[in-house]
Amino acid sequence: MVNMTGEERRLPKYWPILYVVYRLRRVENSFDLQKYLYLAKMDGRAPIEYVFVDDYCGPRCACIKQDAISLGVRGYLKVSFENSWVFEITEYGAKLAKEYIRSLPEEVQNAFDRILEEYSSLPVVKLRDYVSHTYCREKSWAEYEELKQQIMREISLLLHDFSGVESNGNILFLLGSLDYCMLVLKRENLKDTHQKDNLITLINGYVKKVMLLRELIGDNMGLVGAICLNDLKEDFELVQKASEEYKVLPALYEEGIDLSVFIEE
């Protein structure tokens, strides 16, 4: 890692978030933002303080998305939600980012810029594929099949619980997304182990989040309609992108999609 002077050490922890969004102007989901920072830290040796752990989205640090949203509240970023979190630089944020950049060693800037130039054009699914292939252990075929059966059992239980709740927008989303995940798992027969790992792991992570939501609301199922599901929607968006990329099942956001034609009798 590059050694930094006393002046440089005073940079706040969130400086690389502003750096990325300033350089790219717009980052369209929190997955990309986290992967850019991870690669800059691992490959580019940038002095990034965020600590990453492995989960269904690959190396991840929940603090990054939280800090990015906080930067939006403070006016440094414009934060919106369009099926996934979108981060854009503001004039105020650009001014601050330029100050931080002047404090960074040239080799740090060059390494960070190289990472962004090389990977920012990759679709989010291919970016996750690359990171997972490079840094994560693959499962055996038996493990994949066992995991698929476990996930489908969990989906069946969730569908049973949510189907008995009075219909609202959130309930319809949960039922529709779980049905979609079940159908993808039934149709999935990928031979590429990296694609297989990516898709199944993403679905598993999504279902685990829905299970946690179910556990938290307990017997108060009526609360579902009042909960903001943006994070779940972003996760499900990535599941759809992977399913579409690997030609398992079209994404629900594609116009005119009729999934009934894919359901086996």
Q: Are strands 77-81 and 85-89 parallel, antiparallel or unpaired?
A: antiparallel
**pLDDT above 50 for 1:** no
Structural domain count of the chain: 2
Shared domain for 222 and 177, answered yes or no, is yes
User: What is the pLDDT, as a whole number, of residue 45?
Assistant: 84
Examine residue 207 and state whether it is found in any structural domain, yes or no. Answer: yes
26 and 98 in a common domain: yes
Q: Provide the pLDDT confidence category of residue 8 given band limits of 50, 70 and 90.
A: very low
* Domain boundary residue, one of 114, 135, 156: 135
**pLDDT bucket at 227, cuts 50 / 70 / 90:** very high
Residue 177, Cβ neighbours under 10 Å: how many?
Answer: 23
- Whether residues 54 and 156 share a domain: the answer is no
User: Mean pLDDT of all residues in the chain?
Assistant: 86
Contact 200, 188 (CB under 8 A): yes
Phi and psi based region of residue 69 (left: phi greater than 0; alpha: psi -120 to 50; beta: remaining): alpha
pLDDT of residue 64: 92
Q: Are residues 171 and 233 in the same domain?
A: yes
Please say if the pLDDT value at position 222 is more than 90: no
Global model pTM greater than 0.75: no
Considering all CA atoms of the chain, what is the largest pairwise distance in Å, rounded to the nearest integer? 68
pLDDT at 265: 39
Residues 234 and 152 in one domain: yes
Residue 1 placed within a domain: no
Domain-ending residue, one of 77, 109, 135: 135
Q: Which residue has the tokens 């991840």?
A: 60
**Domain-embedded: residue 193:** yes
- Give tens-digit pLDDT for 86-107: 999 999 999 999 999 998 999 9
Tell whether the model's pLDDT for residue 217 goes beyond 50: yes
Domain region containing 114? 6-135
> Stretch 63-84: mean pLDDT, rounded?
92
